[in-house]
A = this chain, B = another copy of it.
Amino acid sequence: MSFDKNKTKFLLEERDIPHVWQNPAADLPSMAPILDSTTRRALGRQELTSSMAPELAEQELSVERDFEIPEAVREIYRQWRPTPLHRARRLEQALGTPARIYFKNESVAPTGSFKPNTSVPQAYYNHLAGKRGLIVETGAGQWGCAVAYAAALFDMSVQVFMVRVSYQQKPYRRSLMETYGATCIPSPSDTTRAGRSILADRPDHPGSLGVAKSEALELAMADKTLGYARGSGLNYVCAHQSVIGQEAIRQMDIAQEYPDIVIGCAGGGSNLAGLAFPFLRAQQLGGPKVRLIAAEPSACPTLTRGRIAYDYADAMRLTPLFRMHTLGHRFIPPAVHAGGLRAHNIAPVISRAVEEGFMEAVALRQVDCFEAGVLFARTEGIVPAPESTHALRAAINEALRCKAEGRAQTILFGLSGHGNFDLAAYEQYLSGRLQDDSLDDAAVAHGLASIPAVELA
């Protein structure tokens, strides 16, 4: 069959769903250990198993290159994977760029984002470990929805602590979780000690991923029949997301192309890791050099203004200490619509990739990202999630640079999810009522001052 030169979508069959998750830790210089926050000693498999399923603890500490995907998980992946890779032909035309823009479309997943790639295995391993339910925090709600979906397939209960500002901005995400059978609680809440203590300090607290995480962890620690599921950050979460990049490499090959630039939005870091690390590995194995770009909001500039340090992953210091870029666990970002990117910290593997120079980072303003989102809707039809507009905006910026330089580079970005549940944000943008996302130096200083003094490994 001859090559179809107008081809717009590059598809794979279910037999092409990857058989392994690639471990990003294997593609980096040896990772710093996770430290117990009291003893400051490295946590081993046994300690981790107290808060995660044994298989997940093993993946977290492993330096193996690959983890086999259990057949039960691959069977569920079939409901939506492999996801399509698209060429954004009409966006290219609108920009008048010689660049070719591709996007990996994770929005076709049941809950509309990349999150089920890891919620399904996490529900599976917790189910194997005998947990009757899951407990999680969620920012914009994409993680909560993904866990609610996955848990329904294993007949497990779910409680979701949802960052209050998103709970209010995105009521449909809550309804979606409830449709899957989950219970959704706005955070900070009065159902946990952590929540009550935060509300006592500041009754109008908008919530943050860190606070919601504290609440979820507190309840999970109090009831051993419940498992705690992690939406981002840890190595195993980033590994599970590697299905994105593994598929994308095969699909770029079908398109008879290879990207010069790969871009993902960066909040907790797992979506970006999932897309980018397989390209990093291919490069390390002798493949072409690729620029990897992390696109973060200027309202929460973890990679561009944070420090590399040991810090907690939650606001109330319930987690162990991770070595990573952090704005400090007390940092509270402005309530931008990209709720999933409002994290003070980032996955250690992403942090390390930036530290080593394998990856660049850019910070983007909300209004510029929504402008890109509207252009994308009017050319490609899909309304991107506010988070995903960051990757899109960075891709457009690169395409415009290509235009200025007269270079026909190939750009691949991750469309991590759709914005069907975020249309109130688009309405605010279109009516010029988008809230300010500017960050003052005092807020950054306040956050950075909360980083504990721990010597770096």
User: Which residues on A are within 8 Å of B, measured CB to CB?
Assistant: 1, 4, 6-9, 11, 13-15, 75, 78-80, 86, 90, 108-112, 116, 149, 152-153, 171-172, 175-176, 178-181, 374, 377-383, 420-421, 423-424, 426-427, 430
Contact = CB atoms under 8 A, between A and B. Distances in A.
Nearest to A426: B179
Contacts of A15: 1, 4
5 contacts: A9-B14, A80-B381, A171-B423, A420-B420, A420-B421
A15 B374 CA distance: 29
Contact of A378 (B152, B171, B378): B152
A148 to B, nearest CB: 9
Given A4-B15, A152-B377, 19 more contacts: A4-B13, A6-B14, A6-B78, A7-B78, A8-B79, A11-B13, A79-B90, A79-B381, A90-B153, A109-B381, A110-B381, A111-B381, A153-B379, A172-B172, A172-B420, A175-B424, A175-B426, A176-B420, A178-B430
Contacts of A4: 13-15
A178 B9 contact: no
A88 B180 CA distance: 17
Contacts of A78: 6-9
Nearest to A428: B175
Nearest to A15: B4
A111 B378 CA distance: 11
Nearest to A173: B423
B378 A176 contact: no
The 8 closest A-B pairs by CB, nearest first: A110-B381, A175-B423, A8-B78, A420-B420, A152-B378, A172-B423, A175-B427, A179-B426
Contacts of A86: 79
A105 B9 CA distance: 17
Contact of A377 (B80, B180, B421): B180
A8 B421 CA distance: 27
Nearest to A176: B423
Nearest to A149: B381
A388 to B, nearest CB: 14
Contacts of A378: 152-153, 179-181
A383 B179 contact: yes
Nearest to A177: B423
A176 B383 contact: yes
Contacts of A111: 381
A134 to B, nearest CB: 15
